[in-house]
Structure 1
Amino acid sequence: MRRYKRTLVAVGLATAVVTGTAGWATGNGQRPVTGPPPGTAAWRADTSLGRALPDPASAAPHDIAAFFRALTPAQRHGLARRHPSVVGNLDGAPVSLRYEANARTVRQDPRWAHLAGRQILAFDPRGRGQVAEVYGDLGRSRHVAVVVPGSDIDAGTYDRPSDPYGTPAGMAGQLRAATGGRTAVIAWAGYTTPVGVGLDAAAGDLAEAGAARLTRFTDGLAAAGAPAPAVFCHSYGSVVCGLAAPRLKAKDLVVFGSPGMRAENVADLRTTARVWAAKDASDWISKVPHTRFLGLGHGPDPAAPAFGARRVPAAGAHGHTGYFAPGTDSLRSFAAIAEGTLTDGTPGEGSGR
Structure 2
Amino acid sequence: MRRYARTMAALALATAVVTGTAGWASGNTERAVTGPPPGSAAWRADGVLGRALPDPARATPEQVRRFFAGLNSTQQQELLERHPSVVGNLDGAPLELRYRANSLALRASHDPRYRSLAAPGRQILAFDPRGRGQVAEVFGDLRSARHVSVVVPGSDIDAGTFDRRSDVYGTPAGMARSLYAATGGDGAVVAWAGYTTPVGLGLDAATGTLAEAGAERLTRFTAGLAADGLPAPVVFCHSYGSVVCGLAASRLGATDLVVLGSPGMRADDVAGLRTGARVWVAKDDTDWIDDVPHVEVFGLGHGADPADPGFGALPVPAEDAEGHTGYFAPGTDSLRAFAGIAEGVSR
Flag whether TM exceeds 0.5 (same fold).
Answer: yes
**Distance in structure 1 (CA, Å) of the matches to 2:158 and 2:15:** 22
Residue 263 of structure 1 is matched in structure 2 by 267
Q: Deviations over 1:109-138 (max 9, x none)?
A: 122121112110001000000000001100
**Does 1 or 2 have the higher relative contact order (CA < 8 Å, sep 6+)?**
1
Residue 157 of structure 1 is matched in structure 2 by 161
Alignment of 1:242-321 (within 5 A): 242-321=246-325
Residue 130 of structure 2 is matched in structure 1 by 126
Residue 43 of structure 1 is matched in structure 2 by 43
The AA in structure 2 aligned to 1:228 is A
RMSD: 1.4
* Unmatched segments (≥5 aa) in structure 1: 344-353
Residue 197 of structure 1 is matched in structure 2 by 201
Q: Offset of 1:180 from its aligned partner?
A: 3.3
> 1:16, 1:197 within 8 Å by CA — same for their partners in 2?
no
SS state at 2:76 partner: helix
Residue 347 of structure 1 is matched in structure 2 by none
The AA in structure 1 aligned to 2:300 is L
Residue 145 of structure 2 is matched in structure 1 by 141
More helix by share: 2
Alignment of 1:33-182 (within 5 A): 33-111=33-111, 112-116=114-118, 117=120, 118-182=122-186
Q: Offset of 1:4 from its aligned partner?
A: 4.1
SS state at 2:237 partner: strand
Q: Offset of 1:183 from its aligned partner?
A: 2.1
Give the alignment partner of residue 213 of structure 2, picking from 194, 209, 214: 209
Q: Offset of 1:107 from its aligned partner?
A: 1.0
The AA in structure 1 aligned to 2:231 is P
| Residues paired across the two proteins, number | 339
Q: Offset of 1:72 from its aligned partner?
A: 0.2
Structure 1 length as normaliser, TM-score?
0.93
The AA in structure 1 aligned to 2:182 is A
SS state at 1:300 partner: coil
**Distance in structure 1 (CA, Å) of the matches to 2:340 and 2:186:** 11
- Pick closer, same or farther for the CA change 1:4–1:170 going to 2, 3 Å: same
The AA in structure 2 aligned to 1:39 is G
> 1:134, 1:186 within 8 Å by CA — same for their partners in 2?
yes
**Distance in structure 2 (CA, Å) of the matches to 1:186 and 1:13:** 36
SS state at 2:169 partner: coil
Structure 2 length as normaliser, TM-score?
0.95
**Distance in structure 2 (CA, Å) of the matches to 1:3 and 1:305:** 20
Q: Offset of 1:101 from its aligned partner?
A: 0.5
**Distance in structure 2 (CA, Å) of the matches to 1:205 and 1:77:** 38
SS state at 2:214 partner: helix
The AA in structure 2 aligned to 1:8 is M
Identity of aligned residues (%): 71
Q: Offset of 1:224 from its aligned partner?
A: 1.0
SS state at 1:76 partner: helix
- Pick closer, same or farther for the CA change 1:338–1:126 going to 2, 3 Å: same
Alignment of 1:216-255 (within 5 A): 216-255=220-259
Is 1:329 equivalent to 2:328 in the alignment? Answer: no
**Distance in structure 1 (CA, Å) of the matches to 2:15 and 2:219:** 27
> 1:277, 1:309 within 8 Å by CA — same for their partners in 2?
yes
**Distance in structure 1 (CA, Å) of the matches to 2:101 and 2:11:** 45
* Unmatched segments (≥5 aa) in structure 2: none
> 2:21, 2:202 within 8 Å by CA — same for their partners in 1?
no
